[in-house]
Amino acid sequence: MTDLTGKTALVTGSSRGIGRGIALRYASLGADVVINHAGDGENARNTVAEIEEAGGRAIAVRADVSLPPDLDRLLSAALGAFGRLDIVVANAGKEIIDQPVLDVTEEEFDDLFAVNTKGAFFTLQKAAALLSDGGRLIYIGSSTTASPHPGVGLYSSSKAAVAWLVRVLALELGPRDITVNTILPTATAGAGVFSSVTEGDEFHQGNAAFRPLGGRGGTPDDVADAAEYLAGNLASWVSGQSLLVAGGAIQ
């Protein structure tokens, strides 16, 4: 079992969905956890309370990852609360699907790229400067970047840029024994545009039709499993990689 005792993990966009699932997993493994949100304070506080009730330590910090000064404040709060930073997961993002490229507006482009690309870029950059040697940087990308798919041109483009950054950053941070990796989740019940979807409902069953493994769609726990692996000692020799978490499908 992975042991993260004595480590501090920061997960952006972790008041709900995939980010919350990863934060709860890290807390269960002994890490002190920083919950980040851009405005969902109630769910962030509930997540902190759940961690504390289980005997862990956590704080919630409101910060918009698209604003570099907010990221500075978020990282400073993490260090102020726990004194160190060992694992940072760049998870915060926005999603638009079923949208042809010809329908994309400049406003939508700017909005998604501000969070998904700029926000993730500076999350990883700023975290890398403060991360303990031997630390872990993890980017939550999207399975839509694994193969072309109609309707996700804007969304997948905004995610693909950071997946490339991960490969470069892995080389630059290698001398400090910091690993940098990407997780590519499939459509996940309870996350993103599928936040209202629950495992076993009609959509999830339909989604499972093109997931050959297990006859089901994705869940936050599936992504948390991958995040646990990449944060632990078993992945100490894995860096610059993209792990597709899609039940055997290509996207």
Q: Considering only 14-18, 62-66, 142-146, which range has the smallest mean pLDDT?
A: 142-146
Q: How confident is the model at residue 28 (pLDDT cuts 50, 70, 90)?
A: very high
**pLDDT range class, residue 188, cuts 50, 70, 90:** low
pLDDT in tens, 126-179: 999 999 999 999 999 998 888 888 899 999 999 999 999 999 999 999 999 999
Angle between helix 17-28 and helix 220-231 axes, rounded to 10 deg: 50
Under DSSP, is residue 251 helix (H, G, I), strand (E, B) or coil? coil
Write the DSSP assignment of 29-89 as a string of letters.
TT-EEEEEESS-HHHHHHHHHHHHHTT--EEEEE--TTSHHHHHHHHHHHHHHHS---EEE
pTM: 0.92
Q: What is the mean predicted confidence (pLDDT) over 224-249?
A: 94
- DSSP 3-state of 244: strand
More confident residue, 22 or 143: 22
Look at strands 87-90 and 8-11 and give their pairing: parallel
| Nearest Cα to Cα of residue 229 among 1, 33, 69 | 1
- From 29, 30, 236, 244, select the one nearest 133 (Cα to Cα): 236
DSSP 8-state symbol, 212: T
Name the token pair of 190. Answer: 């309870």
- Rg from Cα positions in the chain: 17
The per-residue b/e assignment along 57-77, b for 16 or more CB within 10 angstroms, e otherwise, is bbbbbbbbbbbbebbeebbeb
User: Mean per-residue pLDDT for 23-42?
Assistant: 97
Please name each of the domains of the chain with its CATH number.
8-245 (3.40.50.720)
Given a contact cutoff of 8 angstroms between Cβ atoms, the answer to whether 38 and 64 are in contact is yes
